[in-house]
Chains A and B, each alone.
Chain A
Amino acid sequence: MAENPTIVSIDNLSKRFIMHKDKSLKERLVNFGRARQHRDDFWALRNVSLDIPTGETLGLVGHNGSGKSTLLKTIGGIIQPTSGSVQRRGRLAALLELGAGFHPDLTGRDNVYLNAAILGLTRKETDRYFDAIVDFSGIESFIDTQVKFYSSGMYVRLAFAVAVHVDPDLLLVDEVLAVGDEPFQRKCMAKIAEFQSEGRTIVLVSHSADQVGSLCDRVVVLHQGEITHDGDPAEGIRILREGYEADRKLSDKVAEGADARRPAYSITSVDATTREDAESISIILDYLIEIFEPQDEWGIGLSIENSLGLHIYSMTSFGLNATLPNTVGSHRVRITLPDVRLGAGSYVVNTGLGNQSGLNFDERPRAASFDVTGAGFGYGLIRISPDIAS
């Protein structure tokens, strides 16, 4: 099959927000000559270019205020760009806020028709989908009740049900996938997977790395309005995490200020090695720890994630009754995690030193990594050797 056609083409897009500090006529008149002082410029997007082919699920990630929602709204036509252009084709549905068009005084039925019309469905089409919508939302018995009496869960379920029945070619989703109770969330995810298999294009803004990792074929990382990564999801999530980490360190440093003392305990190095056999692997972590000022107690904490950032395991040494060295100088510590049945993939280890009351002496995110090669049968996060009998 030929290359998938482009459904959205973004060319050199920039968006500037001007923030006026004065809103009323009086204030504007009073400050007329000094209007420049009373406004702030803020570039939410800078020279963003992006092509989205049909059938792709694109994740937009970034810190708060990095411009991802602005980009989504620009694609949706809700915000006009300052410069550059967005071109688009096919039918669009934007899930920027569930139930944006719901009127609390109208019944669920009226609101379904209204909201469907807002999303671009004709009355005839809504008639056709109406039963499916109500069925999906699971609130048949309340459909003729005014929406203001709905619980918040019922409200979003009905709104989501309308949105996914609009038959869009391009679906814009902003942080609204995690709604309702667990069975309903599963239903939502199943619907998204169905959309993907039907070749619909989805652009997703999310803060959940798990969600982005499991749904998207491509991730765009935005930082202060610019694209810092475009492509592989795992790599994108890694870059995003590093960004968070860098920010946190920066703020830590600022907070510490001149008080940047030498830590009491410090990790010099961590090495991860694995020993594999047919059934399982053992993970061996070799620490080299420098102790400068022994304290009453200290311990080691660690967590393991897969490459998509999914948390797999975490532990601290406190409950283990292990005796750790506590004298000034360099010490070697080995932690062995035996009999781990992990599936194939690459994994990272985050680790740190601290005491039981929560004071951290040292932190080393992504301190070490290890790979597990494909042994065992089947695919997945864990390794299983199944047996079939009859």
Chain B
Amino acid sequence: MSASPADLRAQRIASEPLHTVGQETRFFRGSAASVRDVWNHRELLGLLVRRELKARYKDSSLGIVWSLIRPLAQLLIYYFAIGQILGAARAIPSFALFVFVGLTVWTLFTEIIGNGSTAIVTNSGLVKKVYLPREIFPLSAVGGALFNFAVQLLILILATIVIGEIPWHVQLLYAPLAIAVLVVFGTAVALLLSALNVYLRDIQHLVEVSLIVLFWASPIVYSYSFVHNELQGNWIEQLYLLNPVTLVVLGMQKAFWVAGSAQGPNVNWPADLDLRLVLALAVSVLLLWFGQRVFSRLQGNFAQEL
């Protein structure tokens, strides 16, 4: 006599262990479980990223091109206003390329932080109705930002080829390290802010304002040499160099800005940039872990707070 499907199902379920519903909320445990949970949903993560990108440019005839027009417009503004009118271009060789490198980094950072910190609130429909590891939502914002970044990076590389300053040197190795720092650091901050934003909606406005201010705290449209010449390595300069975004911008400039990558009369680089980046990566990883733990502590009440 063969067992009915109902009996088979009952047998299979009886063989599975019961597990407690919900995420581990104790502080020092459960990281591994959370990572595994997200890993199990990686396919969904991919679909969410694609949804984000598809939906953003759906029904616009230029589509993905729009994600390039914004930084290009910014590039033009800074090139003329700061480079030509204020005269920054005279001290910085290949000024346009220099600005574009910084803007590429900055766009990635603002997209990760800006979209990441509102990710839970904008996906409240899903958070309230379906159980998913909630980390997925800020992570999908990171994924979308990375895609746009990849497109811009491609343009950047094409530009270096067109103007004949191909960055084919050993300093190119700074690029992956710098990108890793930025992604880990940005993800950590985005996770933290996305969870806090559920409880305090002021966060998203605070983020907008902070991003405008922080833009000027990194050497994107002016060069690090200006800062160094003014401050001569005092404690304010050291503070300035603690900003991971500054380090990332410097790292990317070192990798892609061939005209200024060597130490010269007009060009200064902070000492031990590679070591600083590695340290920043280590701190960012710790911060990411901390952010995830805070996130999983706070996420238990997301559904009722939204």
**Residues on A facing B (Cβ under 8 Å):** 1, 4-7, 9, 17, 23-26, 28, 54-55, 73-81, 85-90, 92, 94, 96-97, 100-101, 103, 105-106, 110, 113-114, 117-119, 122-123, 146, 169, 197-200
Asked if B9 is an interface residue, CB under 8 A from chain A, the answer is yes
Asked if B200 is an interface residue, CB under 8 A from chain A, the answer is yes
Residue in contact with A114 in the complex, picked from B10, B25, B51, B301, CB distance below 8 Å: B51
Scan B1-33; emit 1 where CB is below 8 A from any A CB, else 0.
000111111101110111111110100000000
Kindly provide the distance from the CB of B247 to the nearest chain A CB, expressed in whole angstroms: 31
Question: Contact between A80 and B22 (Cβ–Cβ < 8 Å)?
Answer: yes
* Residues on the B chain within 8 Å of A5, using CB: 10, 13-14
Q: Kindly state the separation between the CA atoms of A119 and B47 in the bound complex, as whole angstroms.
A: 13
Question: Contact between B19 and A87 (Cβ–Cβ < 8 Å)?
Answer: yes
Question: Contact between B4 and A118 (Cβ–Cβ < 8 Å)?
Answer: no
* Residues on the A chain within 8 Å of B16, using CB: 89-90
Asked if B90 is an interface residue, CB under 8 A from chain A, the answer is no
* Residues on the B chain within 8 Å of A54, using CB: 9-10, 13-14
Query: By CB atoms of chain A within 10 A, which of B13, B16, B18, B54 has the most?
Result: B13
Question: Contact between A89 and B6 (Cβ–Cβ < 8 Å)?
Answer: no
Q: Kindly state the separation between the CA atoms of A94 and B128 in the bound complex, as whole angstroms.
A: 11
* Residues on the B chain within 8 Å of A198, using CB: 5-6, 9
A123 and B18 in contact, given A25-B202, A100-B130 (Cβ under 8 angstroms): no
A89 and B59 in contact, given A94-B131, A123-B43 (Cβ under 8 angstroms): no
Residue in contact with A197 in the complex, picked from B6, B13, B127, CB distance below 8 Å: B6
Asked if B201 is an interface residue, CB under 8 A from chain A, the answer is yes
Top 8 nearest A-B pairs (CB, nearest first) are A199-B6, A80-B300, A5-B14, A100-B129, A77-B131, A117-B44, A87-B18, A25-B202
Further contacts, 12 of them, CB under 8 A, given A17-B304, A28-B200: A5-B13, A54-B13, A77-B131, A78-B129, A87-B21, A90-B12, A100-B125, A114-B44, A117-B43, A117-B44, A118-B130, A199-B7
Kindly provide the distance from the CB of B272 to the nearest chain A CB, expressed in whole angstroms: 40
* Residues on the A chain within 8 Å of B64, using CB: none
Q: Kindly state the separation between the CA atoms of A146 and B9 in the bound complex, as whole angstroms.
A: 38
Within B105-160, which residues are at the interface with A (CB < 8 Å)? 125-132
* Residues on the A chain within 8 Å of B14, using CB: 5, 54
Scan B153-189; emit 1 where CB is below 8 A from any A CB, else 0.
0000000000000000000000000000000000000
* Residues on the A chain within 8 Å of B12, using CB: 90
Question: Contact between A4 and B10 (Cβ–Cβ < 8 Å)?
Answer: yes
A75 and B10 in contact, given A110-B51, A118-B130, A123-B43 (Cβ under 8 angstroms): no
Asked if B70 is an interface residue, CB under 8 A from chain A, the answer is no
The residue on B at minimum CB distance from A118 is B130
Question: Contact between B202 and A24 (Cβ–Cβ < 8 Å)?
Answer: yes
Asked if B55 is an interface residue, CB under 8 A from chain A, the answer is yes
* Residues on the A chain within 8 Å of B48, using CB: 114
* Residues on the B chain within 8 Å of A106, using CB: 51, 54-55, 58
Supply 20 A–B pairs (Cβ within 8 Å), ascending by A: A5-B10, A5-B13, A17-B304, A77-B22, A78-B127, A79-B300, A80-B22, A85-B21, A88-B19, A94-B130, A96-B129, A97-B129, A105-B59, A106-B55, A106-B58, A114-B51, A122-B43, A169-B9, A197-B6, A198-B5
Kindly provide the distance from the CB of A79 to the nearest chain B CB, expressed in whole angstroms: 5
* Residues on the A chain within 8 Å of B9, using CB: 54-55, 169, 198-200
* Residues on the A chain within 8 Å of B54, using CB: 105-106, 110
Asked if B91 is an interface residue, CB under 8 A from chain A, the answer is no
Scan B199-217; emit 1 where CB is below 8 A from any A CB, else 0.
0111000000000000000
Kindly provide the distance from the CB of B205 to the nearest chain A CB, expressed in whole angstroms: 10
Kindly provide the distance from the CB of B169 to the nearest chain A CB, expressed in whole angstroms: 41
Asked if B303 is an interface residue, CB under 8 A from chain A, the answer is yes
Q: Kindly state the separation between the CA atoms of A146 and B22 in the bound complex, as whole angstroms.
A: 34
Kindly provide the distance from the CB of A146 to the nearest chain B CB, expressed in whole angstroms: 7
Q: Kindly state the separation between the CA atoms of A219 and B217 in the bound complex, as whole angstroms.
A: 63
The residue on A at minimum CB distance from B205 is A25
Q: Kindly state the separation between the CA atoms of A336 and B204 in the bound complex, as whole angstroms.
A: 71
* Residues on the A chain within 8 Å of B20, using CB: 85-87
Kindly provide the distance from the CB of A20 to the nearest chain B CB, expressed in whole angstroms: 9
Residue in contact with A78 in the complex, picked from B7, B8, B201, B303, CB distance below 8 Å: B303
Q: Kindly state the separation between the CA atoms of A197 and B132 in the bound complex, as whole angstroms.
A: 29
The residue on B at minimum CB distance from A200 is B9
* Residues on the B chain within 8 Å of A114, using CB: 44, 47-48, 51
Question: Contact between B58 and A146 (Cβ–Cβ < 8 Å)?
Answer: yes
Question: Contact between B19 and A94 (Cβ–Cβ < 8 Å)?
Answer: no
A78 and B128 in contact, given A9-B18, A23-B201, A55-B6 (Cβ under 8 angstroms): yes
Question: Contact between A25 and B200 (Cβ–Cβ < 8 Å)?
Answer: yes
Question: Contact between A103 and B55 (Cβ–Cβ < 8 Å)?
Answer: yes
Question: Contact between B4 and A199 (Cβ–Cβ < 8 Å)?
Answer: yes
Q: Kindly state the separation between the CA atoms of A17 and B48 in the bound complex, as whole angstroms.
A: 31
Scan B82-117; emit 1 where CB is below 8 A from any A CB, else 0.
000000000000000000000000000000000000
* Residues on the B chain within 8 Å of A87, using CB: 18-21
* Residues on the B chain within 8 Å of A197, using CB: 6
Kindly provide the distance from the CB of A334 to the nearest chain B CB, expressed in whole angstroms: 51
* Residues on the A chain within 8 Å of B125, using CB: 97, 100-101
Question: Contact between A117 and B7 (Cβ–Cβ < 8 Å)?
Answer: no
A199 and B130 in contact, given A78-B303, A114-B48 (Cβ under 8 angstroms): no
Residue in contact with B201 in the complex, picked from A24, A79, A123, CB distance below 8 Å: A24
Residue in contact with B129 in the complex, picked from A6, A85, A88, A94, CB distance below 8 Å: A94
Q: Kindly state the separation between the CA atoms of A23 and B306 in the bound complex, as whole angstroms.
A: 11
A77 and B21 in contact, given A4-B10, A25-B202, A197-B6 (Cβ under 8 angstroms): yes
Question: Contact between B18 and A117 (Cβ–Cβ < 8 Å)?
Answer: no
A90 and B13 in contact, given A75-B21, A118-B126, A199-B4 (Cβ under 8 angstroms): yes
